[in-house]
Structure 1
Amino acid sequence: MVQQRGDITAGRVQLRVTNTSSSPETFTTAALLSPALSEPAEWDARRPVTLDPGRTVDLPVVLPAVRCIDDPGDAQATFTVDGLSVSVPPDDALDVLGRAGATACDQEDMASVARIRAAGASSGVDGTIALRVDVAPSGVGTGTIELVALRGTVLLRFADGAEAPLHVAVSARDRPSHIDVVVVPQRCDAHAIAEDKVGTLFDLVVRIDGREVAVPLERSQEVADTLLALTARVCGLTPAD
């Protein structure tokens, strides 16, 4: 089981299969099953894949909702190979499912207090980009969290460096609010912007119950596209309005 940079925003993993036999093998289905997943993650096979001896192929599966559970147990990868059903435990050396489950727990804990998301981006001053982060308290309970910082990406950083300190305390019954953050390009090569995968996916550092965790800052595809367009404009790759 592997997760490449482009898989992160797509919410998927790859089931990497190597044919160690002496004959071609044809795969028609593949799926990943785990107690940590709300349902099987299935490979969208548009056509069968035949794997020659010694060859390797990555079969992408999109992860469904990840459950927050203490012990996710053992995952199983299932395949239909030459018409036969096969089930094997996948090698998860990078602990992809473990990390996904931990992030799901952290997101649940944060959401019980407030929903934090990148709500929009606009042109700033002097070649900067203004990022608006909305804070929507849940209105339920008495929990509190502290928004510690935002972390930059391979494409974007902040006016003061790789991180933008926030130090904002939020209670579940606070009124909705927003935070404005100044963003600047980290790099301006055209191919980096055109081929971006995770350059608009900031990490939000939050202190919950005395522990600091980092969760992806929620943002829509519209906000991501706006950030990329503004980055290209600031870098002088597209004309200003």
Structure 2
Amino acid sequence: MDVRPVGSARAVGRVAVVGTALVALLAGCTPPAASPSPSPTSQTTAGPTPEPLPPGVTVEVRQARVEWADRIVRVRVSNDTADALAVSSAEIAGARWAGPARSLDPVTAGAGGVAEVRVRLGEARCGQAGAADVLTLVVEADRDDAAPRPVAVFTHVLDDAADPGGVLTRRWQEDCAAAAVAAGARLSWSPGLEVVEGPAGPLARLTLRLEPVPGGPHVEVAAVDATTLLSPAEGPQWRPALASADGQPVTATLDAVPARCDLHAIAEDKRGWQMPVRASVDGVAQEVFYLPLPDDSRVALPSYLSQACGRSAG
């Protein structure tokens, strides 16, 4: 899996045990047979007090490039015990998010094995930079005589050890930077992908538009970084120099050339169409955030790259 390490924040919960300790802990948490199976949130707030991760179970937040645009992160559950650990659901919650992020599918980490729970993040709540996120796992027991049901709830603070790549912090920073810019300006790319002839071959000409938001803060777009697919025709960055000061829509053209001509790498690319934007709001520099190219531009990219790299399309 192509995992993107981002940001500087770090985190992990590491504990070590034998499988029998896990079995005993799960057995002691089994609810009455007539009780319904509550969600992670309801168990955390109204059910029995959640337990720390049992010895031998550790977690780590990871990120796959292909899932970044869909706001999906993965929680890797390592089970160093003698018994399978069936995670029916997972939830990441904290002051930095408007609502809890919930898992998409149940997973089972076999004895001595690992499993990854996919969790889709919700909307960021900005202004909570120091807040820690908490992971809640609802675990089921494997039973031969009945369907699995929740038997234990475990929580773990996602500190630097549990998020060594700073995935959650970086995503929150990007979201809040984009929201701060959006309060003062609407940024968009013109549809399509214009191809023009340059001195050394075809150029992909992108047009970035800034439309000021009436009454919003002052926004300046200082730079757009290169991606894995596109590089500036001149210099290390594009410098659009767009600002909302005049109160009128403004545009800038960005001429691009291929960042690489390895066709296999181009075909496998996951984020080359997401353009990294560097902006400031009322003079305060924001974190880099990503402004994706329109769908028709994405569709046209392979043809342009093939042409510019001197190969026929297809």
TM-score tier, shorter chain, comes to 0.7 to 0.9
The aligned counterpart of 1:133 is 208
Q: Which structure would you say has the larger Rg?
A: 2
Match of 1:123 among 195, 198, 202: 195
Whether contact under 8 Å (2:95, 2:128) holds in the other structure is no
Give the secondary-structure state (helix, strand or coil) at the position aligned to 2:174. Answer: helix
Query: In the aligned structure 2, how far is the partner of 1:30 from the partner of 1:78?
Result: 6
Match of 1:158 among 219, 232, 235: 232
Q: How many residue pairs align between the two structures?
A: 236
The aligned counterpart of 2:241 is 167
C-alpha distance after superposition, 1:106-130 (max 9, x if no partner): 2222112211122332222231111
Give the secondary-structure state (helix, strand or coil) at the position aligned to 1:128. Answer: strand
Q: From the superposition, tell whether residues 57 and 229 of structure 1 become closer, same or farther in structure 2 (CA, over 3 Å).
A: farther
The aligned counterpart of 1:88 is 156
* Identical aligned residues as a percent: 25
- Unpaired runs of 5+ in structure 2? 1-60, 141-149
Normalising by structure 2, we get a TM-score of: 0.68
Shift of 1:168: 2.8
Shift of 1:18: 0.3
The aligned amino acid for 1:80 is V
Q: Residue 209 in 1 paired to residue 282 in 2? A: yes
Match of 2:107 among 39, 49, 67: 49
- Unpaired runs of 5+ in structure 1? none
Segment of structure 1 superposing worse, 224-233 or 124-133? 224-233
Which of structure 1's runs of 4+ aligned residues deviate more than 6 A? none
The aligned amino acid for 1:176 is P
Give the secondary-structure state (helix, strand or coil) at the position aligned to 2:241. Answer: strand
C-alpha distance after superposition, 1:172-229 (max 9, x if no partner): x622222111011011222222221111112111133333332212434443333344
Normalising by structure 1, we get a TM-score of: 0.87
Give the secondary-structure state (helix, strand or coil) at the position aligned to 1:226. Answer: helix
Match of 2:97 among 12, 21, 37: 37
Whether contact under 8 Å (2:210, 2:243) holds in the other structure is no
Query: In the aligned structure 1, how far is the partner of 2:102 from the partner of 2:156?
Result: 15
The aligned counterpart of 2:172 is 101
The aligned amino acid for 1:189 is D
Q: From the superposition, tell whether residues 236 and 11 of structure 1 become closer, same or farther in structure 2 (CA, over 3 Å).
A: farther
Match of 1:145 among 213, 219, 243: 219
Q: Residue 179 in 1 paired to residue 239 in 2? A: no
Query: In the aligned structure 1, how far is the partner of 2:264 from the partner of 2:231?
Result: 18
Give the secondary-structure state (helix, strand or coil) at the position aligned to 2:62. Answer: coil
Whether contact under 8 Å (2:135, 2:157) holds in the other structure is yes
Q: From the superposition, tell whether residues 226 and 11 of structure 1 become closer, same or farther in structure 2 (CA, over 3 Å).
A: farther
More strand by share: 1
Q: From the superposition, tell whether residues 186 and 76 of structure 1 become closer, same or farther in structure 2 (CA, over 3 Å).
A: same
Shift of 1:59: 1.5
